Amino acid sequence: MGEFVVVTGKVSRELKEKAKRLGININRVIREALKEAVRRREEELFRKSLERCANILDKVDLDRIARSIREDREMR
């Protein structure tokens, strides 16, 4: 996974104590939650990028491209 760094955050003492009593590994929960949040955000940004690409590609005239290719082949 690579080098680790310390990340801090605040939770209520009560919540921390409950998690400890319940045997919850707080570090693992935080790592998994952060990993999932990053994955969701990357997916969201990727989808937005795909939408922008799709909007650009919708403007491309495929018939014009095909004609240009045919004309180029005929010139050879």
pTM of the complete model: 0.69
Split into its structural domains, the chain has a count of: 1
Tell whether 23 is covered by a domain.
yes
Q: Quick check: 29 pLDDT over 80? A: yes
Tell whether 6 is covered by a domain.
no
Question: pLDDT digit string (tens) for 30-72?
Answer: 999 999 999 999 999 999 999 999 999 999 888 999 999 998 8
Residue 18 belongs to what domain range? 13-75
CA–CA separation, 12 vs 21, rounded Å?
A: 14
What is the structure's pLDDT at 10? 96
Task: Select from 13, 37, 39, 38 the least CA-distant residue to 26.
Answer: 13
For 9: left if phi > 0, alpha if psi spans -120 to 50, otherwise beta; the answer is beta
Tell whether 2 is covered by a domain.
no
Tell whether 7 is covered by a domain.
no
What is the structure's pLDDT at 71? 87
Tell whether 62 is covered by a domain.
yes
Tell whether 5 is covered by a domain.
no
Tell whether 8 is covered by a domain.
no
